[in-house]
């Protein structure tokens, strides 16, 4: 499997250094990549091979156990200064590509990782074809990063550009959440546990809550974020992807073709809200200054590179409905935002209430299955039980499981898993064009209503779980956010 030439566009960038080189090194250490692989890094800077090897070495420094091994790994990296807009540069790239292909005996297999701004994707893809860097002799796979468009129209344009050079099954659109351990675990939870599989539907599930909370603000990404906002940055991709895994029907097999078919169906079954429904069921917010945890946080509008009159939402919340039979009328609530109380990504499956034989004095909890995605990873199940004592009193019991930090320390990072999937040719954990099309159609509708400024942009104080309107939304559906700060890991100093 390891025979491959990987070309990284944007090799001097943040993503390459923080994620790609460490992931490739872990794949090397675990034997997925052996001696018959090479990496060409390209970017505008005039680096030499030695400088590039040093950068690669530096970026994997915390993972190195054996210096010799790390040096050998870095020796597989070659640098080529390259302006992606300059056709002549691709000729040099082709020559280097052919030379390394022979030297490392890579069987013409090629992976192209575009770790660059999406505006360059079309240019790069078309040049790879026109300059014959792709030759159709081995496998040829293109990995691209978000954002994939900023609307359905721009996503379509980008897709048209890419599809002139690569077919859908050669394109791997990364949504790094799909590489996360507990997101992949949704398949295991749903389809290996008979008890859940049988009740994963509208007869037993009252509502589903997806929270992607960030405690950080926009940091140094204000310029980018101010043109994007929570809806496009988080909901269009990560939240809708997670929703599709929760809402989809059981795939025939655990193979990418069957999995994608069901995910696509789920996304296409999400009801496009009417203008009135957008006004009623979706909430947008923007954080304002506050003192929290002994720190002062400025308002979003005072962050660097942000328009002081910006109406970009840093918080989005709402209710989606999936009309696929399995889940008709079951709300899928979501919320995501910056500068929230704490960092936490989790999913709560709230099961229906049951009539009680125990009388009004005994308060019964609804069963809740919680999937913890980050910062801790695991699941818990909330149930009722008898409290210890001679009287019969019902109390809440939480079965709680988290992965051992030591095991997690050795577990693959999202990017490592995703690159591994690309090398295997497994597209299950990547976003298909049909999924993007369905998700942009939904998001465009919300953006359209929000941009007319007919719905409030609520303030929320930095360090809170978003505006009150997001809590009111759930109250309207006779439920509430099932969020408790995650005491479990705090108690254990994790
Ligand atoms: P970056 O700005 O750090 O790096 C951009 C790279 O592109 C640099 O190597 C730069 O030299 C190169 N480049 C720019 N113009 C060029 C040109 N004309 N010719 C050749 N090379 C050129 O960006 P990044 O943070 O590494 O992000 C890269 C992509 O990944 C973006 O699409 C971003 O949205 C996406 N992304 C990044 C992260 C992250 O953690 N950094 C996370 C998710 C998605």
Map 48-92 to HEC letters. Answer: CHHHHHHHHHHHCHHHCCCHHHHHHHHHCEEEEECCCCCHHHHHH
Domain co-membership, 214 together with 95:
no
Known binding residue 190? Answer is no
The ligand 1 atom nearest the CA atom of 11: 9
Residue 158, in any domain of the structure: no
- Rounded Cα–Cα distance for residues 153 and 350 (Å): 36
Known binding residue 343? Answer is yes
Active-site residue, from 57, 89, 127, 238: 238
355 within ligand 1 shell (Cβ under 6 A): no
Output the six-digit token pair for 293.
């945890």
| pLDDT confidence of residue 488 | 43
Domain of 42 in residue numbering reads as: 4-145
pTM to 2 decimal places: 0.94
Distance 326 CA to ligand 1 centre (A): 41
Known binding residue 192? Answer is no
Domain boundary among 145, 162, 196: 145
Domain co-membership, 221 together with 117:
no
Domain co-membership, 216 together with 103:
no
The ligand 1 atom nearest the CA atom of 224: 34
Known binding residue 176? Answer is yes
The ligand 1 atom nearest the CA atom of 43: 21
Q: Structurally, how many domains does the chain consist of?
A: 2
Q: Is 296 a catalytic residue?
A: no
User: What are residue 40's DSSP bridge partners?
Assistant: 7, 78
| pLDDT confidence of residue 354 | 85
Asked if 39 and 6 count as a contact pair (C-beta separation under 8 A), the reply is: yes
Known binding residue 230? Answer is no
122 within ligand 1 shell (Cβ under 6 A): no
443 within ligand 1 shell (Cβ under 6 A): no
Atom 17, ligand 1: residue with shortest CA distance: 83
Q: What is the DSSP letter of 366?
A: P
- Rounded Cα–Cα distance for residues 186 and 192 (Å): 10
Mean pLDDT by 10 residues, the chain (494 residues): 93 95 96 96 96 97 95 97 92 96 97 95 95 95 94 96 96 94 93 95 98 94 95 97 97 95 98 98 97 93 97 98 97 97 94 91 93 92 95 94 79 90 96 97 98 94 93 96 62 51
Q: Measuring CA to CA, how many Å separate 89 from each of 19, 85, 119?
A: 26, 8, 18
Residue 342, in any domain of the structure: yes
123 within ligand 1 shell (Cβ under 6 A): no
Domain co-membership, 134 together with 249:
no
CATH of the domain at 114: 3.40.50.720
Domain co-membership, 130 together with 259:
no
Distance 383 CA to ligand 1 centre (A): 47
| Cβ neighbours for 231, distance < 8 A, ≥ 6 positions apart | 284, 313, 316, 443, 446, 447, 450
| Largest CA-CA distance found in the chain, in angstroms, rounded | 85
CATH of the domain at 385: 3.30.360.10
Residue 420, in any domain of the structure: no
- Counting every residue, how long is the chain? 494
Domain co-membership, 408 together with 461:
yes
| pLDDT confidence of residue 355 | 87
The ligand 1 atom nearest the CA atom of 114: 29
Domain co-membership, 134 together with 183:
no
Distance 248 CA to ligand 1 centre (A): 33
Domain boundary among 121, 145, 169: 145
Atom 38, ligand 1: residue with shortest CA distance: 15
Known binding residue 217? Answer is no
Find tokens 């052996």 and name the residue.
Answer: 34
State which of 51, 86, 115, 172 you would mutate to test the pocket of ligand 1, scoring each by most atoms of that ligand within 8 A of its C-beta. 115
Domain co-membership, 134 together with 195:
no
Residue 402, in any domain of the structure: yes
Domain co-membership, 222 together with 345:
yes
Distance 116 CA to ligand 1 centre (A): 3
Distance 409 CA to ligand 1 centre (A): 27
44 within ligand 1 shell (Cβ under 6 A): yes
The ligand 1 atom nearest the CA atom of 17: 26
Pairing of strands 368-374, 282-288: unpaired
Atom 10, ligand 1: residue with shortest CA distance: 10
Q: What is the DSSP letter of 172?
A: E
State which of 40, 42, 117, 223 you would mutate to test the pocket of ligand 1, scoring each by most atoms of that ligand within 8 A of its C-beta. 117
For 370, phi then psi, to 5°, come to -110, 130
Atom 37, ligand 1: residue with shortest CA distance: 15
309 within ligand 1 shell (Cβ under 6 A): no
Distance 15 CA to ligand 1 centre (A): 7
Domain co-membership, 220 together with 361:
yes
Q: What is the DSSP letter of 353?
A: P
| pLDDT confidence of residue 485 | 57
Domain boundary among 125, 145, 165: 145
State which of 7, 8, 9, 13 you would mutate to test the pocket of ligand 1, scoring each by most atoms of that ligand within 8 A of its C-beta. 13
| pLDDT confidence of residue 322 | 98
Domain co-membership, 105 together with 245:
no
Helix (H) or strand (E) holding 417: helix 414-424
Residue 35, in any domain of the structure: yes
User: What are residue 336's DSSP bridge partners?
Assistant: 212, 316
14 within ligand 1 shell (Cβ under 6 A): yes
Q: Report the candidate in 245, 491, 488, 243 with the shortest Cα–Cα distance to residue 376.
A: 488
Residue 443, in any domain of the structure: yes
Domain co-membership, 182 together with 140:
no
272 within ligand 1 shell (Cβ under 6 A): no
Residue 156, in any domain of the structure: no
Q: Report the candidate in 436, 469, 418 with the shortest Cα–Cα distance to residue 256.
A: 418
Residue 165, in any domain of the structure: no
């Amino acid at each position: 499997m390891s025979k491959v030439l990987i070309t990284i566009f944007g090799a001097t960038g943040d993503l390459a250094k923080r994620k790609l080189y460490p992931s490739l090194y872990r794949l090397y250490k675990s034997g997925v990549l052996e001696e018959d692989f090479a990496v060409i890094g390209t970017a505008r800077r005039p680096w030499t091979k030695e400088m590039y090897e040093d950068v690669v070495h530096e970026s994997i420094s915390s993972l190195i156990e054996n210096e010799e091994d790390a040096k050998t790994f870095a020796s597989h990296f070659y640098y080529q200064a390259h302006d992606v807009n300059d056709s002549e540069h691709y000729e040099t790239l082709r020559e280097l590509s052919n030379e390394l292909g022979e030297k490392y005996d890579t069987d013409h297999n090629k992976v192209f990782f575009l770790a660059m701004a999406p505006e360059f994707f079309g240019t790069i893809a078309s040049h790879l074809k026109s300059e014959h860097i792709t030759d159709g002799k081995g496998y040829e796979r293109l990995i691209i990063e978000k954002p994939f468009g900023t609307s359905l129209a721009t996503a379509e344009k980008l897709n048209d550009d890419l599809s002139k050079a690569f077919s859908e099954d050669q394109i791997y659109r990364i949504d790094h959440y799909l590489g996360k351990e507990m997101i992949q675990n949704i398949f295991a939870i749903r389809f290996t546990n008979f008890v859940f599989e049988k009740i994963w539907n509208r007869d037993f599930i009252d509502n589903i809550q997806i929270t992607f909370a960030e405690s950080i603000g926009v940091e140094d990404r204000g310029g980018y974020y101010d043109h994007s906002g929570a809806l496009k940055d988080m909901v269009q991709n990560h939240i809708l992807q997670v929703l599709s895994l929760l809402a989809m029907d059981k795939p025939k097999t655990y193979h990418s073709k069957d999995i994608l078919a069901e995910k696509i169906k789920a996304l296409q079954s999400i009801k496009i809200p009417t203008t009135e429904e957008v006004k009623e069921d979706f909430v947008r917010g923007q954080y304002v200054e506050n003192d929290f945890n002994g720190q002062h946080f400025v308002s979003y509008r005072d962050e660097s590179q942000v328009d002081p009159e910006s109406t970009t939402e840093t918080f989005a919340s709402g209710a989606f409905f999936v009309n696929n039979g399995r889940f008709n009328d079951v709300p899928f609530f979501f919320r995501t935002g910056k500068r929230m109380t704490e960092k936490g990504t989790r999913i709560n499956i709230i099961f229906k209430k049951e009539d009680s034989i125990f009388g009004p004095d005994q308060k019964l909890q609804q069963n809740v299955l919680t999937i913890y995605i980050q910062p801790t990873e695991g699941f818990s199940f909330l149930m009722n039980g008898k409290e210890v004592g001679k009287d019969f009193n019902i109390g809440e019991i939480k079965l709680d499981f988290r992965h051992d930090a030591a095991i997690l320390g050795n577990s693959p990072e999202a990017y490592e898993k995703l690159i591994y999937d690309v090398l295997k040719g497994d597209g299950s954990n990547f976003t298909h064009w049909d999924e993007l099309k369905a998700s942009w159609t939904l998001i465009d509708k919300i953006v359209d209503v929000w941009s007319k400024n007919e719905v409030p942009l609520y303030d929320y104080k930095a360090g809170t779980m978003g505006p009150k309107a997001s809590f009111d939304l759930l109250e309207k559906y006779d439920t509430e956010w099932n969020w408790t700060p995650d005491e479990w890991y705090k108690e254990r100093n994790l």
